[in-house]
Structure 1
Amino acid sequence: MSKNTAYAAFHALAIGSKLWFRQADTESYVGEKPVAAIKVNSHDVLIIGAQFGWSLTLAEIDRSVTEEMLSGATKAADGRYLGWGIFDNKLQVWSSDPTVKKARVKKVKPSLCGQRFTIMTLPDDLKGVLAVGMKGTMVNTGTETPLVVLDGVSRTHYIHVSHLGIHKRRAKMTMDRLPPQTKEVLSLLKAKGSLTAIEAGGVIRARSLAKRISELKEAGVSIIAETKHDHTGQRYARYHLKAAA
């Protein structure tokens, strides 16, 4: 932005407007960071939250500037406000805070219908209704605020994608992609004909037999789960390889 354009932009702002400016005069006071201020007349601003500047009396402040507008300005001990003159020397001016990074909006494609996600943050209107960490499924997408169904919640909600952690889709499990322990479970099943979680844990130290069985089923292995009870009445599953027809 050229100095003439920036100076014109400052003059175009209404009296009482909040702005951020960068000027050669202020570099020794606040460094390179833009200064937040309130425009109080055609050439002066009041500094917000800073400990530098010269004193401006109420007489130098335009009458259209209300006390509410001045609430963020820094007031000196003598009752005057700390301000700065805006001059045409290497001036830059912004109407919104240039130091705040805008949130990146995730692009949502129609192909994400049925995609799983986890709530990472909550919109203000859903605080107290939902909770961070809840998981759900997208019902329709293609917009930045898709309709979603949350696990265990009967109502549907619209949640902006910036609040969602979209799960990466895992490639379908195939026989050549089976993890090493899943292959061991399959070998044990073939050798024994059936298998329980205790047996798998004792022989090959499989920690989650149900997950291994799920991977085998996804890869096309036919397995039947039989529910049984031990001598204490505790239920457990025994998995059998289904014989080929």
Structure 2
Amino acid sequence: MSKNTALAAFAALAIGSKLWFRQNDIPESAGEAPVAAIKVSENFVVIIGAQFGWEMIREDMDPAITEETLSGVTKGSDGYYRGWGLYEYSLQKVWTTDPTVKKARVKKVRPSLIGQRFTIMSLPEGINADIKVGMKGTMASTGHETPWVVLDGYPRMVYIHVSHLGIHKRRAKMTMDRLPPQTKQVLDLLKAKGSLTAIEAGGVLRARSLAKRISELKEAGVAIIAENKLDHTGQRYARYHLKAAA
């Protein structure tokens, strides 16, 4: 990029723009590595987090610059800001050859694993013999590589390194507009009949797992109650009813 082009590009930036300030022509001044800067006037920038540059007073900056804009800018104990001008003395010498607008970086926040389900995929050395591969559990702590976990059916909490755990993929909460087609059919049949058993659902809808469909409906907010009954052979079964609105 030529100096004239660089000057034009810098001039086109709005006051307060964050940019990469690069000085390749005079390394002893700013160095070849780009540094973060803010445009504070048509001729000046202030440096973010650096201890070099001219001493600049607040009056040198455009009135549009606020204290919030200057957050992170280096300010000496004497109250002066560190900055650079685009010109050296009376010469029209561009101090920056790359006034590239700095793109905002979105910090990725890792969600907490507390409450996350997992399956033990391998066993660490020295772990209690009662703990087996395939056992499932729930994270009780997070933020480190060896979390505190609660294993299903195991009486004590234990520490297990995450390299031994298969973290279950989080599933979005079920809502009425996300119900699978067969679950919607179960709901329609419930509304039509008033109650439903697994045999009835299997015969009409070929639903293999009515309990799972009922669980999805409950998660979506449908009020359903289960009535446990015995058939003529003494086998237990559940009849599901839609709960009447209060």
Check 1:230–1:129 CA distance in 2 against 1; reply closer, same or farther (3 A cut): closer
Match of 1:145 in 2: 146
- Summarize the Cα distance change of 1:200–1:206 in structure 2 as closer, same or farther, 3 Å threshold: same
Which AA in structure 1 matches 2:114?
C
SS in 2 for 1:126: coil
Relative to structure 1, is the Cα distance of residues 180 and 115 closer, same or farther in structure 2, using a 3 angstrom cutoff? same
Aligned residue type for 2:183: T
Deviations 1:27-68 (A, max 9, x none): xxxxxxxxxxxxxxxxxxxxxxxxxxxxxxxxxxxxxxxxxx
Matched, 1:217 2:208: no
Superposition CA RMSD, Å: 1.5
Q: Distance in 1 between matches of 2:241 and 2:232?
A: 21
* Alignment CA distance shift 1:179-1:110 (3 Å): closer
The residue number in structure 2 matching 1:238 is: 239
Instruction: Name the counterpart of 2:116.
Output: 115
Instruction: Measure, in 2, the Cα distance between the counterparts of 1:127 and 1:213.
Output: 38
Deviation of 1:178 (Å): 0.2
- Structure (1/2) with the larger helix percentage: 1
The residue correspondences of 1:137-216 to structure 2 (distance < 5 A) are: 137-216=138-217
Q: CA deviation at 1:224?
A: 0.9
Unaligned runs of 5+ in 1: 1-107
Aligned-partner Cα distance in 1 for 2:180–2:190: 16
Letter aligned with residue 218 of structure 1: E
2:138 is paired with a residue of what secondary structure?
strand
**Which residue of the partner structure matches residue 132 of structure 2?**
131
State the SS of the aligned residue for 2:233: coil
Deviations 1:194-219 (A, max 9, x none): 00000000100000000000000000
Instruction: For residue 236 of structure 1, give the secondary structure of its aligned residue in structure 2.
Output: strand
**Normalised TM-score (structure 2):** 0.54
Q: Distance in 2 between matches of 1:172 and 1:129?
A: 33
TM-score, normalising length: structure 1: 0.54
Displacement, 1:236?
0.7
Amino acid at match of 1:116: R
**Partner Cα distance (1:202, 1:223) in 2:** 21
Alpha-carbon distance in structure 1 between the residues aligned to 2:154 and 2:130: 10
Could you tell me how far 1:129 is from its partner in structure 2? 3.3
For this pair of structures, how many residues does the alignment match?
Answer: 138
**Displacement, 1:128?**
2.8
- 1:224 touches 1:241 (CA, 8 Å); kept in 2? yes
Match of 2:27 in 1: none
Contact kept, 8 Å, 1:110 with 1:140, in 2: the verdict is no
1:233 to partner: Cα distance: 1.4
Amino acid at match of 2:242: L
Structure 1 distance, partners of 2:128, 2:158, is 13
Once the two structures are superposed, the pairs formed by residues 11-22 of structure 1 within 5 Å of their partners are: none
Question: Which SS does the other structure have where 1:124 is aligned?
Answer: coil
Give the counterpart letter for 1:128 in structure 2. A
**1:205 partner amino acid:** R
How far did residue 109 of structure 1 move?
5.2
Q: Which amino acid aligns with 1:158?
A: Y
Following the alignment from structure 2 to structure 1, what is the Cα–Cα distance between the partners of residues 225 and 172?
24
In the alignment, structure 2 segments of 5+ residues that lack a partner are 1-108
The residue correspondences of 1:89-104 to structure 2 (distance < 5 A) are none
Instruction: Percent identity, please.
Output: 82
SS of residue paired to 1:125: coil
Distance in 2 of aligned mates of 1:160 and 1:110: 18
What secondary structure does 1:190 align onto?
A: helix
Shift in CA distance, 157/110, structure 1 to aligned 2, threshold 3 Å: farther
C-alpha distance in structure 2 between counterparts of 1:187 and 1:110, whole Å: 37
Query: What does residue range 36-51 of structure 1 map to in structure 2 within 5 Å?
Result: none
1:168 deviates by: 1.0
Aligned to 1:30: none
